Amino acid sequence: MQTASLLYYFLLLFWCIDFVENQTNEIPRRQRRRMRYRGSRKGSSANHRPNRQPQIKTSTTVTAVPSVSLINIDDGITEVFDSLIGLGGHESSYSVLPGKKGHCTANGMIMYDKAVWSPKPCITCLCSKGKVICDETTCFSLTCHKTEIPEGECCPVCSDIVLNISLDDTPEISGASPEPNDPSDPMLLQPLHTQAEMDELLRREKEELEGREKEIHKKDEEKRKRKEKKSQEEKKIHDYEAHQKAEEEISRREEEKRRVYEEEELQIEKEEEKRKENELPEQERKQQKSEEEEEEEDEHILRGDVFRMPPRFPIPVPPAEIPPLPTGCSISDTTVSCVNARLTQIPPITDPDLTSLELEGNTITSIPDEAFNGIPNLERLDLSKNNITSPGIGSQAFKILKKLKRLYMDENALEHIPPELPSALEELKINENHLHAIDEDSLQELKNLVTLELESNKLSEANVSPLAFRPLKSLSYLRLGRNKFRTVPQGLPTSIEELYLENNQIEEISEICFNHTSNINIIVLKHNKLEENRIAPLAWINQENLESIDLSYNKLYHVPSYLPKSLLHLVLIGNQIERIPGYVFGHMKPGLEYLYLSFNKLNNDGIDPVSFYGAYRSLRELFLDHNELKFIPFGITEMKALSFLRLNNNKIRTVPPERICKSVVNDDNVDADSNDDDEEEVEDSRLEHLHLENNFINTRELSPYAFSCIRSYSSVVLKPQKIK
């Protein structure tokens, strides 16, 4: 009876030990099933499992691909291949088999689509649509004293055994117990323990189990906190997503209609193909069928059944996950905005759908080669107001952005134009940097560039190559203001339409400056050092599309001659002009429309009756304010299209009726027998705005007919006037 009680006691003890070990080993197994490939990983040198499949050598790093769930044929454990887009890496030694769509080849062996094999212990590879995807099992660290690697496994497990009793030594439960004197009984080989010792061992096991449960609970709590943090970040974009639901629903319905239409079209095509196939002769169909069977037979011989994926195992593709954005960033549709977010480097973003990234107002100093690997479809990139330097930009930093159209890098510390800019670029802004050279290769391959802004740099004709702009076949808008040019840059592209060269040191315009710019429309040369005798007579007179010239704040003493025939808009504000030569506008067709001569030194002696010849019927706006005129210039009444006239801030004292409004006497209305004064019919004018303030006019002495041709007297500004 005592022997039977002792036996039942030990059986109960073995059952407890078995339960503890199962719980201990079950935890790492479940964790291994949930392991995911996160970034670059170190290989597990000590955790290799024996592999019964053919050994195929591969490179140590494979190309990152979208995550695919795989079924391991050996043990049924699901391995996960996570997306590594944007992390870079070496290309795999595997390649796609030519002529076999979706098949792969590895060291001469052909793998059909969805084939699975293990080239090395603890490494599993999949052939997916012509690409080889490999995953290496990573093991978690264990806290137990002794570990072992079970057969067929890659990772070690705890092997601590209480009382050196293994489960294999447990006697089978049957109706009879072994004889007490049987020397083969394993129970006789173990020392007997007291009840206190057994209780102590059980207590230790229970404490160890509770400690492990607490550790698991702690990890679960950390995971929960991470999820809460992530949910808070996702809540920020929830409001935006809410008002997008209606539009998404409409888009979904349209997409559904399109899909149905495509399916109908596909069905029609299939029926058409089937009809054509039925029309083929019977002999040709048999020959085609036999060729297909032979081809399938050859493929079967090449790859063998050992690589065949069971059709019952589907390969689901999980949706791509966008990593959380840095603090201070926000996402809206396909745009990520990190303006003034205190970033010191390009944030690691992986989102192939992203098309716009705003990084303005940070302290970024460099752009490594792999900075944009995760966002290859970017179309707009704003890096303005940072501290980016030319040495800090990798030679391949922008090469991956094949679709980039707009690049803004204003207010940085660049000394050279960044290398290897994408050919799709249409707009490039590098204003307020330290550029001091543009060679013939700086803008290479930018044949689609339309807008180029390089203002506030250190550029001059000495450090800008005459061939620098030659590759820009589509350039129409060029800003080179606030630099150190003394002449107009050479080699401007023929496509140029608008040229801005304000705030330079330009002293001369030669005859060859605009020889090849037949499409140019606007030239801005204000705040330079130009004199009228330094403008060549043939510099631009033959231009047929040049309509606007701004020569404000130069050193001109009279209106330049030989202006373009097509000119419509001439700005000469802030010079020292004293005279408007006669017939200076006479050669223009269709005629000058806007003439701004404010803030000069014009007096009445400098304006001849023929000064405005050629512009009488075309001039719409005439600004003569802030000059030294003492009376209304001649010719104003001849300007049939004039609508805006500025004569304020001069020295005018009177306004005769015939200088603004031309009066005509109507003889038909005169009654010979009447003693009344002759009635005058005044011709209406198009003048809508007239400024005469800040002169010396006595408004009480003005003739009642001085402004009779103006439809609205509110358009005439007379106050205030200067005190005599």
Please report the pLDDT score of residue 359 as a whole number. Answer: 95
Please report the pLDDT score of residue 58 as a whole number. Answer: 38
Sketch the domain layout of the chain as residue ranges. 16-172, 215-279, 588-666+678-724
Question: How many CB atoms sit inside 10 A of residue 117's CB?
Answer: 22
What would the mean pLDDT of 612-639 be, rounded to a whole number? 93
pLDDT digits (tens, 9 = 90+) for 279-291: 655 556 566 666 6
More confident residue, 289 or 201: 201
CA–CA separation, 386 and 360 (whole Å) = 7
Classify 124 as helix, strand or coil.
Answer: strand
pLDDT bin (cut points 50, 70, 90) of residue 663 is: low
What would the mean pLDDT of 38-57 be, rounded to a whole number? 40
pLDDT digits (tens, 9 = 90+) for 589-613: 999 999 999 999 999 999 988 999 9
Q: Which of 506, 502, 524, 610 is nearest to 569 (CA)?
A: 524
Alpha-carbon separation of residue 629 from 219, 632, 633 (angstroms):
88, 7, 8
In 143-194, alpha helices (H):
none
Cα four-point dihedral sign 216, 221, 226, 228? positive
CB 185 within 8 A of CB 179: yes
Please report the pLDDT score of residue 74 as a whole number. Answer: 41
Question: How many CB atoms sit inside 10 A of residue 70's CB?
Answer: 21
Please report the pLDDT score of residue 209 as a whole number. Answer: 81
CB 372 within 8 A of CB 378: yes
pLDDT bin (cut points 50, 70, 90) of residue 93 is: very low
CB 485 within 8 A of CB 460: yes
In 405-454, alpha helices (H):
none
Please report the pLDDT score of residue 165 as a whole number. Answer: 39
Please report the pLDDT score of residue 469 as a whole number. Answer: 93
Please report the pLDDT score of residue 147 as a whole number. Answer: 74
Alpha-carbon separation of residue 57 from 123, 410, 586 (angstroms):
11, 50, 85
What would the mean pLDDT of 570-588 be, rounded to a whole number? 95
Please report the pLDDT score of residue 289 as a whole number. Answer: 62
pLDDT digits (tens, 9 = 90+) for 275-330: 776 665 555 656 666 666 655 555 444 443 333 444 444 455 444 455 678 888 99
Please report the pLDDT score of residue 693 as a whole number. Answer: 94
CA–CA separation, 624 and 599 (whole Å) = 8
Please report the pLDDT score of residue 281 as a whole number. Answer: 57
Strands (E), 409-554: 427-429, 451-453, 477-479, 498-500, 522-524, 548-550
On average, the pLDDT of the chain sits at 76
pLDDT bin (cut points 50, 70, 90) of residue 695 is: very high
Q: Is the pLDDT of residue 107 over 80?
A: no
What single letter denotes the amino acid at residue 183?
A: P
Q: Is the pLDDT of residue 689 over 50?
A: yes
Which of 108-122, 324-338, 360-374, 457-471 shows the lowest mean pLDDT across its residues? Answer: 108-122
Q: Which residues contact 678 (CB under 8 A, 6 or more apart)?
A: 665, 670
CA–CA separation, 711 and 706 (whole Å) = 12
CA–CA separation, 554 and 505 (whole Å) = 10
The radius of gyration of the chain's CA atoms, rounded to the nearest angstrom, is 44
Q: Is the pLDDT of residue 41 over 50?
A: no
How is 508-545 classified by DSSP, letter by letter?
BB-TTTTTT-TT--EEE--SS---GGGB-TTSSTT-SS
Distance of CA 672 to the CA centre of its chain: 84
More confident residue, 345 or 209: 345
Judge if pTM exceeds 0.75.
no
Q: Which of 160, 159, 153 is nearest to 44 (CA)?
A: 153
Which of 29-38, 76-85, 217-226 shows the lowest mean pLDDT across its residues? Answer: 76-85
Please report the pLDDT score of residue 415 as a whole number. Answer: 95
Please report the pLDDT score of residue 472 as a whole number. Answer: 94
Q: Which of 469, 419, 484, 475 is nearest to 449 (CA)?
A: 475
Q: Is the pLDDT of residue 674 over 50?
A: no
Cα four-point dihedral sign 405, 522, 617, 706? positive
The two tokens of residue 608 are 């001849």
Please report the pLDDT score of residue 116 as a whole number. Answer: 76
pLDDT bin (cut points 50, 70, 90) of residue 122 is: confident
Please report the pLDDT score of residue 42 as a whole number. Answer: 40
Please report the pLDDT score of residue 404 as a whole number. Answer: 96
Q: Which of 565, 514, 571 is nearest to 542 (CA)?
A: 565
Distance of CA 243 to the CA centre of its chain: 24
pLDDT bin (cut points 50, 70, 90) of residue 268 is: confident
More confident residue, 562 or 282: 562
The label of the residue with tokens 């041709």 reads 709
What would the mean pLDDT of 181-203 be, rounded to a whole number? 56
pLDDT digits (tens, 9 = 90+) for 528-538: 999 999 999 99
The two tokens of residue 383 are 């890096």
Which of 178-187, 414-423, 472-481, 627-636 shows the lowest mean pLDDT across its residues? Answer: 178-187
Which of 66-75, 132-141, 461-470 shows the lowest mean pLDDT across its residues? Answer: 66-75
The two tokens of residue 589 are 């067709």
CATH for 588-666+678-724, among 3.90.230.10, 3.80.10.10, 3.10.350.10, 3.30.10.20? 3.80.10.10
Q: Is the pLDDT of residue 624 over 50?
A: yes
Peptide bond into 720 cis (omega under 30): yes
More confident residue, 455 or 286: 455
More confident residue, 61 or 518: 518
Cα four-point dihedral sign 263, 265, 270, 271? positive
More confident residue, 10 or 682: 10
Classify 595 as helix, strand or coil.
Answer: strand
CA–CA separation, 113 and 100 (whole Å) = 10
